A and B are shown apart, each in its own frame.
Chain A
């Protein structure tokens, strides 16, 4: 068994979905990969495989277009390196990192590139059957030859589209981002609930009031704002289209503003203010075997051993509690205790589920998400896991600590946990 290390990583600034027009996932992924590989000019040829992560920006699985391959080639990597894309919803990049680590550990690869990307403002357009039927009717009507048939047909088809009332493209909140796609994508078919509704269910069951959730959100923004102002993100962010800072953070966020927000559909305490944001973002990680890294004098940010990574399933209705069983199991497996861990990165999908996990696991609040979390920074679904790993590794180095714990919940009722070690 080889020992696996995280060599380096970088990310684009995380941009609130719809704030910057015309972003594509490929563009973001390529930017991160190019920047990362520019730091190690001769490594491109030595990459054994590329395992990327994405959820919504590719055509869905069976004839999927495998965005990792497109990113790899467009970023200039040699075409003989194969690539594949993982989909495990919110923790797709953690799954990609686990795959990379296992490959390296059993000797099948020395160096793996993990590009994780999500452009939530550019989701692939899905059409329900009814919608497709109406558009097909419009196309057929426009193709008619005889004008006395064409005009009424076109008018009728147009009326049909208007009557459908569906706005597949535009939404007031997200600019050009496809609202309906997002709503569909964020609804779990297992329990028929949207992600916000599962967060509300957790809030109801464990009596987490709206005020507590708002305070948690306030804290996340404050920490992220302080971190951005102190320049703690400068190391991990590469410029993208001239932007260098995450734009979802609200500096000087106030309780007054949070209290004014109305709860999300079908919820009574979960609001857009205390949920993670819809974001476009990409992260690229280089993972290698320790010998490879040391032989070439590459930096070693942290050790990622496959034994210190695992995923567990839980009740889909309360998907947000996923980190609890995952963390408990990984602590048992690694023999560590909460007090041994220097810092925790917990994905803030929603304030309610984050609060539940922190309280249930008794995590020390001053060590969790010290640079803020997804409520302030955003949650580009597939890229989030990689960002948590990157941020945790860099902060661990800064604090000279030994262990960091990265964990997230997954829509569909799962949890993932990874322990990073630094020697």
Chain B
């Protein structure tokens, strides 16, 4: 009857079950999509189905309705990004009409006079969550991947299917604002506690429980929901003003005004609580949604989203390959440990090697702590974590353990001499067809390749710190790297659920560090020449949309590392501009190292915001001559970064879309502009 919906009448037949089963295209023969996407056609079919079911209720055939997914482990992953993209180019009136139509369908659902229960297992995102919110009750499965999320603000838009109006009365304002404006994700258990979901049941009996609940509601049972005390108090009319003020402040702190969507979502949610059918809340949401959809930020964020999907699904011209089985990592520093954790999480055997066994022990302790956090956040169970940890092997005396490794990663100190020693030692035990990937961030790949035996399997895989939060991996081969080797590296990135950006040819610093070189370089130039205050420069950049100002970045990376990277890359990219970093080197000697030492350009104290380290700034010398306008300085530096990015494209290192993707995900460079280069 319907293309994307199925209707069943289990058991006694008095409760109907409307199952969502979206197909690839709008025809009956098209195969099912892996996840359910809420397209306009799906919405329109839902309207007919609801009308039909309403008729059945009037005739006395059914007493209640359960809305579920026909795909057992995923409910609905939200709206179709392609359709949203079309709205971006369409005239505003079209958007508003479409949304108004959607709202009328949902209001019809809300107005049905028989109980409607949503049965949710797996992803319940965006439009899918909004569908569930319009039902009278929600039952969730204890299946681990069940989660509730509004991803809209990450794409520069706001929930447009009524979520800003239906969520706050249900979960209270604090939780609603966290979900709508800041993209907070809830697991089934947390959703239960927040009253988003009324019951959490074992996965096998999800449908049965939902049907039972519908029957109970039809028989007259009422659902009482008690919010946690704090949320309840903060949702009262008295506190509403305070909650909104605080939320607004927090949003501005994070976005520095560069992203309009979270604020728009906030304003939309202000109207929640009034009459859903006759109030101004929904029409207001429509207007704000249309505004956001047309904004350049939304367009750019969606472009970045598409670029990421492309990067993850593409084979980059290298063909396909299987991910590795046994991974060997040389260098048990923070990067080595984090990469080991990522590989162990995906059930791989990992050998971690360092010359000093104490360093390996510390790395294992770090990995165990990461697993403990994952268990606490219910990503794994305790038993799974123990099982994964059991695949860890340490190595320190020799590389004998690498004789069964099929993918080796070298993550030792950035020193040619040390790396050369490692490659020589590996040559004795590592199988000839195992990949050797170096995590170097600035050393020239071609020269390193000359020192590797069998360098057709040698390439660079540049991870970013911290590995479990940064999704980007830059992959680059030298002239002699086989395509098959690149394919295996790409497969490894996919296994780790990371986004690979594969360079066509390698250059020192690859994409991110090459572009980012100008960031602290130019900023230090200005500050050391006493032309501006570092704190003003940081402020300007952050309001431009950079995730972090240059001096905060210097602190984060650490002065030592920053100095050495600047030194290595200057010959290539400084274009003759010399920078006297003697002052910074002195600071390092005095113990001002950056965030690690809690002292850098900012002072770091646990639980407090970073404060400007004025004493250090003053020690750099008194200003001589006039101060320049920090906005001009920032624009100059930004222009240099854009030029470098353009050079990357012109030299054929990588296409523009990949360069932008790398800049956004590797360094947080103006995602609101979609990166550095025009699209």
Task: Tell me the A residues contacting B by CB distance below 8 Å.
Answer: 209-212, 214-215, 222, 226, 251-252, 254-256, 259
A255 to B386: give the CA distance in the assembly, Å.
12
Contacts A256-B369, A259-B365; is A215 near B360 (CB within 8 Å)? Answer: yes
User: Contact at B361–A211, with CB atoms within 8 Å?
Assistant: yes
A336 to B606: give the CA distance in the assembly, Å.
63
Contacts A255-B368, A256-B368; is A212 near B386 (CB within 8 Å)? Answer: no
A249 to B360: give the CA distance in the assembly, Å.
23
Give the residues in chain A near B394, CB-CB below 8 Å: 215
User: Is B71 in contact with chain A by the CB < 8 A criterion?
Assistant: no
Give the residues in chain A near B364, CB-CB below 8 Å: 255
A369 to B365: give the CA distance in the assembly, Å.
25
A251's partner among B357, B358, B365, B386 (CB-CB below 8 A) is B386
Give the residues in chain A near B365, CB-CB below 8 Å: 254-256, 259
A252 to B359: give the CA distance in the assembly, Å.
21
A sample of 11 inter-chain contacts (CB < 8 A) reads A211-B357, A211-B358, A211-B359, A215-B357, A251-B386, A252-B386, A252-B389, A254-B389, A255-B365, A256-B369, A259-B365
Q: Which of B375-390 contact A (CB under 8 A)?
A: 382, 386, 389-390
Give the residues in chain A near B386, CB-CB below 8 Å: 251-252
Of all chain B residues, the one with the shortest Cβ separation from A213 is B357
Give the residues in chain B near A226, CB-CB below 8 Å: 390
A185 to B562: give the CA distance in the assembly, Å.
58
User: Is B420 in contact with chain A by the CB < 8 A criterion?
Assistant: no
Give the residues in chain B near A214, CB-CB below 8 Å: 361
User: Contact at B382–A252, with CB atoms within 8 Å?
Assistant: yes
Q: Which of B352-366 contact A (CB under 8 A)?
A: 356-361, 364-365
A251 to B390: give the CA distance in the assembly, Å.
10
A215 to B401: give the CA distance in the assembly, Å.
15
A interface majority secondary structure: helix
Of all chain B residues, the one with the shortest Cβ separation from A214 is B361
A98 to B357: give the CA distance in the assembly, Å.
40
Smallest CB–CB gap between B341 and chain A, Å?
Answer: 13
User: Is B73 in contact with chain A by the CB < 8 A criterion?
Assistant: no
User: Contact at B390–A255, with CB atoms within 8 Å?
Assistant: no
Smallest CB–CB gap between B349 and chain A, Å?
Answer: 13
Give the residues in chain B near A209, CB-CB below 8 Å: 357-358
A215 to B368: give the CA distance in the assembly, Å.
14
A212's partner among B368, B390, B396 (CB-CB below 8 A) is B396
With contacts defined as CB atoms under 8 Å apart, how many contacts are there between chain A and chain B in the complex? 35
B361's partner among A222, A251, A252, A255 (CB-CB below 8 A) is A255
A259 to B362: give the CA distance in the assembly, Å.
9
A215 to B358: give the CA distance in the assembly, Å.
10
Give the residues in chain A near B369, CB-CB below 8 Å: 256
User: Contact at B389–A259, with CB atoms within 8 Å?
Assistant: no
A211's partner among B360, B382, B389, B390 (CB-CB below 8 A) is B360
B390's partner among A210, A215, A222, A259 (CB-CB below 8 A) is A222
Smallest CB–CB gap between B394 and chain A, Å?
Answer: 5
User: Contact at B361–A259, with CB atoms within 8 Å?
Assistant: yes
Of all chain B residues, the one with the shortest Cβ separation from A259 is B365
Give the residues in chain A near B389, CB-CB below 8 Å: 252, 254
Of all chain A residues, the one with the shortest Cβ separation from B395 is A215
A251 to B361: give the CA distance in the assembly, Å.
19
Q: A211-B356, A222-B390, A252-B382 are in contact. List 18 more A-B contacts (CB 8 A).
A: A210-B358, A211-B358, A211-B359, A211-B360, A211-B361, A214-B361, A215-B360, A215-B361, A215-B394, A226-B390, A251-B386, A254-B368, A254-B389, A255-B361, A255-B368, A256-B365, A256-B369, A259-B365
Give the residues in chain B near A252, CB-CB below 8 Å: 382, 386, 389
A215 to B352: give the CA distance in the assembly, Å.
12
Smallest CB–CB gap between A138 and chain B, Å?
Answer: 50
Contacts A254-B389, A255-B365, A256-B365; is A212 near B357 (CB within 8 Å)? Answer: yes
A80 to B396: give the CA distance in the assembly, Å.
59
Which of A210, A214, A256, A259 gathers the greatest number of chain B CB atoms within 10 Å? A256
Smallest CB–CB gap between A79 and chain B, Å?
Answer: 51
Give the residues in chain B near A251, CB-CB below 8 Å: 386
The contact string, 1 if C-beta is below 8 Å from chain A, for chain B 196-227, is 00000000000000000000000000000000
A211 to B356: give the CA distance in the assembly, Å.
9
Give the residues in chain A near B359, CB-CB below 8 Å: 211
A353 to B360: give the CA distance in the assembly, Å.
21
Smallest CB–CB gap between A204 and chain B, Å?
Answer: 15
Smallest CB–CB gap between B113 and chain A, Å?
Answer: 54
Which of B356, B359, B394 gathers the greatest number of chain A CB atoms within 10 Å? B394
Smallest CB–CB gap between A353 and chain B, Å?
Answer: 17
Q: Please provide the 5 A-B residue pairs with the shortest distance between their CB atoms, ordered closest to farther.
A: A211-B361, A252-B386, A211-B357, A211-B358, A255-B364
Of all chain B residues, the one with the shortest Cβ separation from A223 is B390
Of all chain A residues, the one with the shortest Cβ separation from B385 is A252
Give the residues in chain A near B356, CB-CB below 8 Å: 211
Smallest CB–CB gap between A371 and chain B, Å?
Answer: 15
A417 to B389: give the CA distance in the assembly, Å.
35
A254 to B392: give the CA distance in the assembly, Å.
11
A254 to B361: give the CA distance in the assembly, Å.
10
A255 to B382: give the CA distance in the assembly, Å.
16
Give the residues in chain B near A215, CB-CB below 8 Å: 357, 360-361, 394
Smallest CB–CB gap between B572 and chain A, Å?
Answer: 39
Smallest CB–CB gap between A233 and chain B, Å?
Answer: 18
A67 to B100: give the CA distance in the assembly, Å.
92
Of all chain A residues, the one with the shortest Cβ separation from B359 is A211
Give the residues in chain A near B360, CB-CB below 8 Å: 211, 215
A210 to B360: give the CA distance in the assembly, Å.
12
Smallest CB–CB gap between A389 and chain B, Å?
Answer: 28
A102 to B27: give the CA distance in the assembly, Å.
88
Which of A209, A210, A212, A254 gathers the greatest number of chain B CB atoms within 10 Å? A254
Of all chain A residues, the one with the shortest Cβ separation from B383 is A252
A411 to B495: give the CA distance in the assembly, Å.
51
Smallest CB–CB gap between A249 and chain B, Å?
Answer: 13
Smallest CB–CB gap between A316 and chain B, Å?
Answer: 28
A346 to B338: give the CA distance in the assembly, Å.
35
A212 to B361: give the CA distance in the assembly, Å.
8
Smallest CB–CB gap between A69 and chain B, Å?
Answer: 46
A252 to B385: give the CA distance in the assembly, Å.
9
Of all chain A residues, the one with the shortest Cβ separation from B401 is A365
Of all chain B residues, the one with the shortest Cβ separation from A252 is B386
Of all chain A residues, the one with the shortest Cβ separation from B394 is A215
Of all chain B residues, the one with the shortest Cβ separation from A260 is B365
Q: Which of B453-512 contact A (CB under 8 A)?
A: none
Give the residues in chain B near A212, CB-CB below 8 Å: 357, 396
The contact string, 1 if C-beta is below 8 Å from chain A, for chain B 379-421, is 0001000100110001010000000000000000000000000
A255 to B394: give the CA distance in the assembly, Å.
12
Smallest CB–CB gap between B340 and chain A, Å?
Answer: 13
A254 to B358: give the CA distance in the assembly, Å.
15
Give the residues in chain B near A222, CB-CB below 8 Å: 390
The contact string, 1 if C-beta is below 8 Å from chain A, for chain B 329-363, is 00000000000000000000000000011111100
Give the residues in chain A near B368, CB-CB below 8 Å: 254-256
A210 to B361: give the CA distance in the assembly, Å.
9
A215 to B356: give the CA distance in the assembly, Å.
13
Give the residues in chain B near A211, CB-CB below 8 Å: 356-361
A109 to B52: give the CA distance in the assembly, Å.
94
A210 to B369: give the CA distance in the assembly, Å.
20
Of all chain B residues, the one with the shortest Cβ separation from A226 is B390
Of all chain B residues, the one with the shortest Cβ separation from A359 is B397
A215 to B397: give the CA distance in the assembly, Å.
13
Give the residues in chain B near A259, CB-CB below 8 Å: 361, 365
Give the residues in chain A near B357, CB-CB below 8 Å: 209, 211-212, 215
Of all chain A residues, the one with the shortest Cβ separation from B360 is A211
Give the residues in chain A near B396, CB-CB below 8 Å: 212
Smallest CB–CB gap between A217 and chain B, Å?
Answer: 11
Give the residues in chain A near B361, CB-CB below 8 Å: 210-211, 214-215, 255, 259
A259 to B364: give the CA distance in the assembly, Å.
10
Of all chain A residues, the one with the shortest Cβ separation from B387 is A252
A396 to B386: give the CA distance in the assembly, Å.
29
A252 to B388: give the CA distance in the assembly, Å.
10
